[in-house]
Amino acid sequence: QVRLVESGGGVVQAGGSLRLSCAASGRNFMTSVMAWFRQAPGKEREFVSRIRLNGGSTDYAESVKGRFTISRDNAENTVYLQMGALRPEDTAIYYCAAGPFSSPQHRHYNYWGQGTQVTVSS
């Protein structure tokens, strides 16, 4: 029904920047919120940011606030995560998710991408 494909991950030096993209597609695309989560080795999946597709209101985890920016294109079918001032602790697999309402809890999202690896070296 809905497919999410992430791209843009890679290896970057501490202090650098990286932009992740999430392309959404589907025969009957039906979602109101898209979000980014991340999961580092040995840690729980963590909310990073979310955006409402209708209106564009955003929210961020405290750990990334001021450094990351979530945005969407005019067609509301692609979401971006611009990451700046990257730190080694940002290293994780980043997942794109879509769901029916805004929430920081991963269990509330019903569509997920495969993830893209972000590694921040120091």
Query: Are 61 and 48 a contacting pair, CB within 8 Å?
Result: yes
Model pLDDT, residue 29: 60
Higher pLDDT among residues 17 and 1, named by residue: 17
Higher pLDDT among residues 114 and 29, named by residue: 114
Name the 3-class secondary structure at 107. helix
Give the length of the chain: 122
CA end-to-end distance (rounded Å), the chain: 40
pLDDT digits (tens, 9 = 90+) for 54-113: 888 999 999 999 999 999 986 778 999 999 999 999 999 999 999 988 889 999 999 999
Model pLDDT, residue 75: 73
Residue where the block lists tokens 């590694």? 119
pLDDT digits (tens, 9 = 90+) for 6-63: 999 999 999 999 999 999 987 556 688 999 999 999 999 999 999 998 888 999 999 9
Model pLDDT, residue 36: 98
